[in-house]
Structure 1
Amino acid sequence: MISALEYAYANYGSTATLHSLLPEMKFTPASAWYDADEASCREAMASRILLRSESPLPPFVSNVVAQYFTISSIEPIRLAEIDTSLDVTALPEALVLSHSTDLDGYLCVDEGSYVASNLDLHLRRSQLAYRTPSGQSALAILTATATSEMWGFIETELQELEQQWLSATIRPVIP
């Protein structure tokens, strides 16, 4: 579930288009992370998927998913005005751990836990609403997911990836 896109559709009749990763928005992750192939990204409705090399192969591979959408017919959505934590609560046995906003309400970060396939998972979803250089309203989302057990070991890596994503997303937008 992506509450910002549902909000745009329900209130303005807007449509959203998922885009591939633009070269100017690509960033280089730490060496433990590698890119999934484009077919896997399309199948997962993602612009980019980063997977963490872990040995032995765990039952759940830590991952970071980036999605870049353009949204028709509206101004960028002030995410602070909607409940983006609904994206977390839609998951099975979910618990919202934190919700914060920044950048005048155009950046929201939700952190939570949930259960899937009998695994306790932890996630952090950052959403940024902005206007593209061509004038379109856009929404960029970065979702990091790992087992609750693994989260503490890789949280610093995930924060670095999130900062790289935010810098790469904002850089093409701000002259």
Structure 2
Amino acid sequence: MRYAPIAAALSLLIAVNASVGQGAEPEADPRAAVLIAEGRAALEAGEPQEAVDAFEAAFAVDPAYTPILLDLAYAARRQELQGKAIRYYREVQARDPRNFAAIAGEGEALIEKGAIEKARSNLARLESHCGANCPETLALAERLETGAQPRMVTAESLLPDPIIIQN
């Protein structure tokens, strides 16, 4: 009984200390930061393969920097490689199960792949961890509501565009 106030204060101190130690992502290696910037510029220029190359080089330099995986996932989605993007998002979640950007990104990739029910489970995870008004939750809910249809692959869509020769 005499030790109860001391034990309560000590447990509060440990809880506060543990929560302060988590949170901020460490800075990227400066060499990786340059490559990340190149990759993001390539994405903006509409060159996803060049972006992937830059991000993979950055990841080789600094494999502990998790945001590179998010960039790789987004670049893979731009190349319409949703399965690869989902693997990157899951790697982020293995490192940090509460990474809301990875959960939402995986949900969007699942929608693009046509796995609507799996995307709904990602939305439920976001709602339970982040809340209903979290930006990631709202974005994924909107994407689900718009009813993104799975891509239809037809024989015509696989043919190259015709070449027009002008004299």
Same fold by TM-score greater than 0.5 = no
Choose between structure 1 and 2: higher helix proportion: 2
**Normalised by the shorter chain, which TM-score bucket?**
under 0.3
* More relative contact order, 1 or 2 (CA 8 Å, 6+ apart): 1
Bigger fraction of residues in strand = 1
